[in-house]
Amino acid sequence: MNVLWLVMISVSVVFAIFTGNLEAFTKSIFDGAKSAVEVSLFLLGIVSIWMGITRILEDSGLIYRIAHLFKPIISRLFKNIPGDHPSITAITLNVLANLFGLGNAATPLGIKAMQELDALNEDKETITPEMMVFIVLNTASIQLIPFSVIGILATFGDSNPAAIVLPVLIATAVSAMTALLVLAAFRRFFG
């Protein structure tokens, strides 16, 4: 992350100098700050709502029933989580929210999962293999029905916007599996 950020900032400034976009570059940095505040405020509301809903699900025990159903799959992907650890529940719910395209619900549940996984982490500054699997699953975007895309297509008069469901499903399944394989390959080479 450190290297990536350094490269992005350096390349941007050098390009801005060469293309004479310095003014636009400076302005854009403050635009970025504005977006960060806006996204955070939006997230504050959404995250709080889903944290509230999740707490009801926890207090009523429903969350544990849902998680129990998916435990066999989850514990295969995440090998070092103890059998009845709360992170399994959070991971399951995050994956389900992603599958059903509920992006707004997936983020808070993902944050919760990361916090639970961090409870198992001995070196708090360094990422664990389980966290990597979890983040890679999320960046690979597993999704059953791409609601937002279908919505836009329908708005502009596509007669059959649902035709993209199957191609997206195949693309997303293949790329998620490849992403996990890439992670496994890196793990083998870099420990």
Tell which positions 157-186 bind other proteins, by CB under 8 A.
Answer: 157-162, 164-168, 170-172, 174-175, 178-179, 182-183, 186
Supply φ then ψ for residue 141, to 5 degrees: 55, 80
Binding pattern for the stretch 55-74 against other proteins, x by CB under 8 A and - elsewhere? xxxxxxxx------------
CB 94 within 8 A of CB 113: yes
CB 89 within 8 A of CB 59: no
Pick between residue 80 and residue 115 the one whose CB is nearest to other proteins.
115
As measured in angstroms, the least distance from the Cβ of 180 to other proteins is 9
Q: Is 29 exposed, middle or buried (0-12, 13-18, 19+ CB in 10 A)?
A: exposed
Pick between residue 72 and residue 124 the one whose CB is nearest to other proteins.
124
As measured in angstroms, the least distance from the Cβ of 119 to other proteins is 9
Tell which positions 131-150 bind other proteins, by CB under 8 A.
Answer: 131-132, 134-136, 138-141, 143, 145-150
Measured CA angle at 94 (ends 66, 107), to 5 deg: 145
Tokens for 25, please give them. Answer: 């570059």
* Using rule CB under 8 A, residue 80 touches other proteins: no
Among 90, 91, 105, 109, binds other proteins (CB under 8 A): 105
